[in-house]
Structure 1
Amino acid sequence: MKNFFKIFTFLLLLILIYLRIAIYPQLDLISGFSAKSVASGHFIDNRSIEMIEKGDNDIPKVDWATNNVDDSEGSATSTVFGLKKRKAIYRTGLGATLINDDFDLLKPYDTPKRTKVINNSQYPFGKLEPKDTVFSNVNYKKLHVVLDAAFDKKEEKSKRTRSIVILYKGKLLAEKYQDGFNKDSKILGWSMTKSITATYFGILQHQGKINIMQAAPLVEWQNDSRKTITINDLLHMNSGLEWEEKYDKISDATKMLFVEKDMTKSQLNKPLVGKPNNSWNYSSGTTNLLSGILRQQFKSHQEYLDFWYSSLIDKIGMDSMLIETDMAGNFVGSSYGWATTRDWAKFGQLYLNKGNWNGEQIFDKSWAKYVATPTHSSNGRYGGQFWLNTNSYFPDAPKDMYYASGFQGQMVAIFPSHDLVIVRMGLKENPEFDFNGLLSGIIESFNK
């Protein structure tokens, strides 16, 4: 009996040591993810806490969290087993921000000035509802079968598609939504926000205000080997800087999103471990560094905030879109862009039109080619903050397809050869969700 208790005590001690070393340090990130997710989903898209917990937060470990919403304060708090309480606050115009104990809730803050463009043409180029357009070369019966197959039946959770919008020849060809979502539902694009962030460099270059081939304007790099890194290298995720992009552990990416006050500095302070323009490595820290470089282009914080909307988002009528900020007031350009599926499709249409929107050239035509051209050492998979299909990653989809992509299977896919934009929003990504089947099935519904 004594031996039994000794063994039991020893095993219990081992378990406690494991929990302390492996699990306890993660609790801060888990409660942080949960609090931020609840605050964003509730205050941006009016989702109930139950809907968020059963949908957005039903992720291993994240579902350990206990969540509460304070509507009067505009905040959400989360704990894990009563430990590591984290808080996220919602501010109109800035979205939800995960805060620390030092954050001054009473400090005044700037918010973006929004201007809604009045355009009485039909969606996607104006504010009016689209009229039914029948294309003689589309097999609608086959198209609807493909769309139906992309959604779960009741009580299923295998495909987890929330919405699909298809634009063809500048018209709304089809749209479909999961129960609980509709054309007005705002959905987080996660890393599709990277493609939004990159677009501002195309806009500034078109305006003659920046040259992406020049060295990144960062004083911290001027006295070491990082001084050769260009904005072009950063846009291509090809800087050679150290970065770990993992989400199932404590990593550079998770520490940045759920701990850091100023996310633009997470990549800034990393050493060079590769050769610029020859060391591709996917990094959300790089995109937030680019957001910080954008902020440097303006005399005031207010101008920086306004520019993101006035030069792009409001200009093409993405009225639902909201880019959330960190504690330091920087747009989290790597991850935190919200919009309706229809508005995400507008962004794809802008690139399909090579930067032209209702006759105005927002960025140069060559910019669309730039973001869709493979960067060195990415094996043909990555361009300028867009993913590519040049190496037939999706074997039955056209090779000229390029796309914005986000965690859990968010996608804005652009098909220049087919005059087509396909947007899919959901909670499962490739290969768990059959993107190749969806994309190829839609294209096969067009008569050859």
Structure 2
Amino acid sequence: MKKWLKRIGLTIVVLLLVLIGYVAVFEFPKLELISGFSAKSLASGHFIDNRSVEQVAAEDNDIDLVRLANLTLNESSKTAVADVFGFKRRTALYRPGLGAMLIDDTFDQKAPYLAPKRVQPELTAPYPYGNGEAEPVKFENIDYERLQKAVDWAFDKPGEKQQRSRAVLVLYKDKLIAEKYAPGFDKNSKILGWSMTKSITATYYGILEKQGKLKISDPAPVAAWKQDERKAITLADLLHMNSGLEWEENYSEISDATRMLFQSRDMTRVQAEKPLTGKINSSFNYSSGTSNLLSGIIRQQFNSHQEYLDYWYSALIDRIGMYSMLVETDMSGNYVGSSYGWATARDWAKFGLLYLRKGNWNGDRLFDESWYNFVRTPTNGSNGKYGGHFWLNAGGRYPAAPSDLFSCNGYQGQMVTIIPSKDLVIVRMGLTEEGVFDFNYLFGEISKAIK
């Protein structure tokens, strides 16, 4: 009997050691992702949109495992700190004009830094071309009852937590025809667009090309590629996400994407260091690293860091009156063009309207129609679902909506949707992805409300 009990005890010890070893090797490193996400989310949510610690914890950080993080906010140092049971502590620092960023132990929080110099003349015209109140308007060809029913459907009833929309806004023929917000949010609330920021980043290539400063057909100016086969990768290949470069976009594991967003000091370099694993211009592979590489290439177009910082606002964001928008930077002062753009739903809609009007903002042409056509051209290998840093409906992703629909998409169901055939822009901000939230129904019903 004693021998048998001894064997059982030994087996239990071995199993425990195996379990501890597994956790140490495979799970413990993930705690840094949890604490990094949590600290960054709190610093950005609080200092950009004035959300409380409680609101961020209950809503923005209401994700499996992320809920484990312990959060601390320091108003005086403008920092947020998170850890998981005391392990893997991470700090996020907020700086005016640059937003919040995760920092490491070597980062000097007191060092001087550059911030964008923004010029924002008063825009008194009615929304959307100005920042005044939207003019009330009634169109005879709109079924307003069906439209409002679709918008209302996107939101939870009291006590529910299924749809989790924060904002839905609809523009038709340059007019605001529907707008609704969840409790705690309104037209002034700044909401993170996540990967919708990729479409913002790409737009600078259309603007720079119109200004004669580059051609997207040219090879990407990456010094490390000049001596190998990567030298054949063009800017267009990067914009179409079919460069053939290695990349793993996985947010539930330690991956290229999570290492970049939560550990890298310079996010623009991560993708550039990857080898070719696919055929150039034939291997669609969605990559946040590519978008940040493109941000770094934009920086190369200027003689100074200050010019780069200013250009993002003067050439696009403030130029079309998106005064609420803030694009956050990494520790090296690069805009995180993959993920970290904040704006109100109304300002996100302005960006959609710019594309609905093919780059012509109320008489001011930002990019040529050729760029508009480029972003809507399906990427080789994407089965009609992706273009030039925009998602497409050419492959029938939303069968209830028109096939010419194209959109900026972000994590947790952020979307700016442009439907040229219906003269529509639809913005939806929230906390639920496709599969939980029925975007096909929303876009289909709103489209069908336009006769």
State how far apart, in whole Å, the 1-side matches of 2:224 and 2:8 are: 60
**1:345 paired to 2:349:** yes
CA RMSD of aligned residues (A): 0.9
Check if 1:261 corresponds to 2:265: yes
Q: Does 1:283 align with 2:305?
A: no
1:213 is matched with 217
Query: Counterparts in 2 of 1:408-419, with a 5 A limit?
Result: 408-419=412-423
Q: Deviation of residue 31 (structure 1)?
A: 0.6
Does structure 1 residue 94 correspond to structure 2 residue 98?
A: yes
- Could you tell me how far apart the structure 2 residues matched to 1:306 and 1:57 are? 32
1: CA distance, partners of 2:152 / 2:12: 54
1:162 is matched with: 166
Q: 1:51 aligns with which of 47, 52, 55?
A: 55
Cα deviation 1:71-105 (Å, max 9, x = unaligned): 01100000011111100000000000100001111
Answering whether residue 75 of structure 2 is matched by residue 71 of structure 1, we say yes
Q: Determine helix, strand or coil for the equivalent of 1:326.
A: coil
- Does residue 391 (structure 1) correspond to residue 395 (structure 2)? The answer is yes
Q: Structure 2 CA distance, aligned partners of 1:149 and 1:167?
A: 18
Which deviates further from its counterpart, 333-342 or 142-151? 142-151
Aligned to 2:250: 246
Kept in 2: contact 1:354–1:366 (CA 8 A): no
Cα displacement (A) at 1:155 = 2.5
Kindly indicate whether the alpha-carbon contact (under 8 Å) linking 1:409 and 1:428 is maintained by their aligned counterparts in 2. yes
User: What secondary structure, in the 3-state scheme, does the structure 2 residue paired with 1:286 have?
Assistant: helix
Q: What's the CA shift string for 1:339-368, capped at 9, x where partnerless?
A: 000000000000001111121101112211
Q: Offset at 1:164? A: 0.4
Partner SS, residue 132 of structure 2: coil
Give SS of 1:265's match.
Answer: coil
User: How big is each residue's C-alpha offset from its partner over 1:149-186, in whole Å with a ceiling of 9 and x where there is no partner?
Assistant: 11111232211111001000000010010111110000
1:294 corresponding residue in structure 2? 298
> Quick one: distance in 2 between partners of 1:389 and 1:358?
27
Structure 2: distance between partners of 1:168 and 1:318: 19
For the residues of structure 1 that align with 2:55 and 2:124, how far apart are their CA atoms? 35
Amino acid at match of 1:17: G
Q: How does 1:77-116 map to 2 (within 5 A)?
A: 77-116=81-120
User: Using the alignment, how far apart are the partners of 1:68 and 1:154 within structure 2?
Assistant: 30
Counterpart AA for 1:236: H
Match 2:208 to one of 204, 208, 222? 204
SS at match of 1:77: strand
Deviations 1:307-336 (A, max 9, x none): 000000000000000000000000000000
> Residue in 1 aligned with 2:156?
152
**Moved segments of 4+, more than 4 Å:** none
Q: Secondary structure at the match of 1:307?
A: helix
Aligned to 1:364: 368
Verify: 1:20 aligned to 2:24, yes or no.
yes
CA shift, 1:117, in A, is: 2.9
Distance of 1:114 and 1:421 partners within structure 2: 27
How far 1:137 sits from its partner (Å)?
Answer: 1.0
Q: Quick check: 1:318–1:339 contact (8 Å CA) kept in 2?
A: yes
The match for 2:232 is 228
Q: Is the 8 A contact 1:244 1:251 kept in 2?
A: yes
- CA distance in structure 2 between the partners assigned to 1:176 and 1:159 by the alignment: 14
Partner of 1:2, secondary structure, is: helix
1:2, distance to aligned residue in structure 2 (A): 3.1
Distance 1:6 1:336 in 2: 51
Q: Deviations over 1:360-412 (max 9, x none)?
A: 10111221111011121111111100000001111111000000000110000
The reply to whether residue 173 of structure 1 matches residue 177 of structure 2 is yes
Please give the TM-score of this superposition, normalised by the length of structure 2: 0.98
SS class of match (1:263)? coil
Q: What stretches of structure 2 of length at least 5 have no aligned partner?
A: none
Deviates more, 1:154-163 or 1:302-311: 154-163
Bigger Cα displacement from structure 2, 315-324 vs 9-18? 9-18
AA matched with 2:309: L
User: How far is 1:446 from its partner?
Assistant: 2.0
Distance 1:372 1:384 in 2: 7
Distance (whole Å) between structure 2 residues aligned to residue 125 and residue 446 of structure 1: 22
Q: Which moved more, 1:294-303 or 1:111-120?
A: 111-120
Describe the SS at the equivalent of 1:268: helix
> Does structure 1 conserve the Cα–Cα contact (< 8 Å) formed by 2:422 and 2:450?
no
Q: Deviations over 1:103-131 (max 9, x none)?
A: 11122111001111333211000121002
How far residue 288 of structure 1 moved from its aligned partner, in angstroms, is 0.2
> Are the aligned partners of 2:242 and 2:283 in contact in 1 as well (CA < 8 Å)?
yes
CA drift at 1:142: 1.4
* 1:324 is aligned to 2:328: yes
Q: State how far apart, in whole Å, the 1-side matches of 2:222 and 2:117 are.
A: 28
Hey, what's the Cα distance between the residues in 2 that align with 1:173 and 1:18? 55
2:60 is paired with a residue of what secondary structure?
A: coil
Deviations 1:404-440 (A, max 9, x none): 0001100000011111000000111112110000000
For 1:134, the equivalent position in structure 2 comes to 138
8 A Cα contact 1:130 1:171, kept in partner: yes
Higher mean displacement: 278-287 or 12-21: 12-21
Report the identity percentage: 59
SS in 1 for 2:16: helix
Q: What is the CA–CA distance in structure 2 between the aligned matches of 1:58 and 1:12, rounded to whole Å?
A: 31
SS in structure 2 at match of 1:5: helix
Query: Does the CA contact (< 8 Å) of 1:117 and 1:315 recur in 2?
Result: no
Q: Distance in 2 between matches of 1:321 and 1:134?
A: 29
SS at match of 2:308: helix
